[in-house]
A and B are shown apart, each in its own frame.
Chain A
């Protein structure tokens, strides 16, 4: 039971990450591979504030979102100058830079040693120390994020995003300042990823830079490509599939280290097969 709760918490956290990235990649058509950077900023902000100042988790989460938002505004501004492949490459760059900061700003992040002993969230004297309560908390956040995403993508703002994806020039001829739209959605997406980071840090109670590498960003991208681009439910389905997959491999009887590599092989192969035979993913509404 404890094991199932653990899996469900991970699925909620990656569900939030998938939903957030889908706003940028699926709905706006910008191939951003830097989501783990914002995920990491959220996690580190929470970890540092919780262990350093004993601040309330929810306040730390909001501060994490603010910091992520500010960083993403700067990053998004630079990235918005690029297109397609170059956009992806530039976003790679930011992931590597942020990762280097986690690794090297040792006075703040303790570098490769990581930050241990991050407390669980508490609210009005109630602590979410039992995993089942933490699951409830993460599901609440997942649902919140889902409804925000649904609201955004269903609104007129969301329609502008989709038209940027289809033909940026055409929509700018109609007088829309596409730069601001692209920046806005990038910042919103980064703030959502930051929520996932806060939850992750407080759930695992330990973080180090290795959770926020470029490979993690590729994994999050794989989630939404499998689930389906430009479909909010798809992002969550993708998260569930890719989290459950390695667990199934472990049950089949592979030893742990081989199972970890098998997970990589499988999701690599999934990406290839999807691109070859079903570029819109399981339930997607948009092909890259």
Chain B
């Protein structure tokens, strides 16, 4: 028997999941669009952001907003450090995409384990007390305040990136590097500096996503990989390297996942996501929107 009452909740769940995926997709797309490399280490930075806030806010008892800002900055800084110490050197040597990907897997594995050593692998939540949160009823479904904030922040970041790309010199330089790095260098763009900034901002967005997830459900050291893979899938189905494509893909993926598990166990979500990815890679590898 088909239960129709849960449809509003399914729609809301899709929107909530889409908001989280689109945050990851935005940061990842920024990095991929500029450097053409699958930065899998990026996944661990969500955990870095989440755990930084956990440390400042819950362990040290700092102010909530101060902790969040610190968490975002730390995620960005670590992303930058990793770029400078690993990826930048490999890129200078013109290493193949596969070398960079394996190095990124190393970064992911090492960062996750370091977090687990520092904070144990236990599942932690960032919100003070579960259940006390404001809840909004929309058309028979519920959405929490954190989830609403996540959705809004995602849309704001998308708009900011879109505007920066369109109107600022920095955005144009980033686009130019994405089109052709060699030529950008020749016309006098300081590519190394711009790419460093891209890594900082991309990682900071990833960190912010981790923080928001921490307030919504919770954090664990290994949260990054599955999150990142969702972000990557969102980018590929939406159109990799395209700011709006990533967000579109994120919501599309979230809807497919959540409606896919309508009649079956929720544990199948990951499998559904990858089936979607493989279908897209086979039949429309450039994604819905072109770069």
Contacts and interface: CB of A to CB of B under 8 A. Distances in A.
Interface string B89-115: 110000111111111011111111110
A159 B253 CA distance: 42
A103 interface: yes
Interface stretch (A141-149, A177-185, A265-273): A265-273
Interface in B78-136: 86, 89-90, 95-103, 105-114, 116-117, 120-121
Interface string A57-89: 000000000000000000000100110111011
Interface centre among B109, B267, B275 (most CB of A within 10 A): B109
Contacts of A221: 102, 105
Interface in B21-70: 37-38
Interface residues of B, number: 45
A218 interface: yes
A142 B132 CA distance: 58
B281 A271 contact: no
A99 B273 CA distance: 13
Contact of B229 (A82, A92, A275): A92
Given A272-B106, A275-B95, A78 B282 contact: yes
Given A31-B98, A264-B109, A100 B117 contact: no
B278 interface: yes
A272 B37 CA distance: 15
Nearest to A254: B117
B38 A279 contact: no
Interface string A84-128: 111011101110110111011000000000000000000000000
Contacts of B101: 31, 85, 88
A89 B232 contact: yes
Interface in A156-205: none
Contacts of A272: 86, 103, 106-107, 110
A31 B103 CA distance: 13
A41 interface: no
B270 interface: yes
Interface centre among B105, B267, B273, B277 (most CB of A within 10 A): B105
For the complex, would chain B's binding face be called helix, strand, loop or mixed by DSSP majority?
helix
A88 B98 contact: yes
Contacts, number: 129
Interface centre among B89, B96, B103 (most CB of A within 10 A): B103
Contact of B105 (A86, A101, A218): A218
A262 interface: yes
Given A31-B101, A85-B97, A288-B99, A261 B271 contact: no
A93 B274 contact: yes
Given A100-B268, A279-B95, A89 B38 contact: yes
Contact of B113 (A89, A222, A261): A261
Interface in A211-229: 214-215, 218, 221-222, 225
B111 A268 contact: yes
A82 B121 CA distance: 35
Contacts of A93: 274-275, 277-278
Contact of B110 (A85, A103, A225, A264): A264
A140 interface: no
A81 B282 contact: yes
Contact of A100 (B38, B267, B278, B285): B267
Contact of A288 (B102, B120, B225): B102
Interface in B248-291: 265, 267-268, 270-271, 273-275, 277-278, 281-282, 285
A276 interface: yes
A97 B233 CA distance: 14
Interface string B153-175: 00000000000000000000000
Interface centre among A81, A99, A257, A279 (most CB of B within 10 A): A279
Given A265-B109, A268-B105, A276-B103, 10 more contacts: A84-B97, A84-B98, A104-B265, A104-B267, A214-B225, A264-B116, A268-B110, A275-B90, A275-B100, A276-B89
26 contacts: A84-B98, A88-B98, A89-B38, A89-B232, A94-B278, A96-B274, A97-B275, A101-B271, A215-B109, A257-B121, A261-B121, A264-B109, A264-B112, A264-B113, A268-B105, A268-B107, A268-B108, A268-B111, A269-B110, A271-B103, A271-B109, A272-B103, A276-B89, A276-B103, A279-B95, A279-B99
Interface of A: 31, 78, 81-82, 84-86, 88-90, 92-94, 96-97, 99-101, 103-104, 214-215, 218, 221-222, 225, 257-258, 261-265, 267-272, 275-276, 279, 287-288
Interface of B: 37-38, 86, 89-90, 95-103, 105-114, 116-117, 120-121, 225, 229, 232, 236, 265, 267-268, 270-271, 273-275, 277-278, 281-282, 285
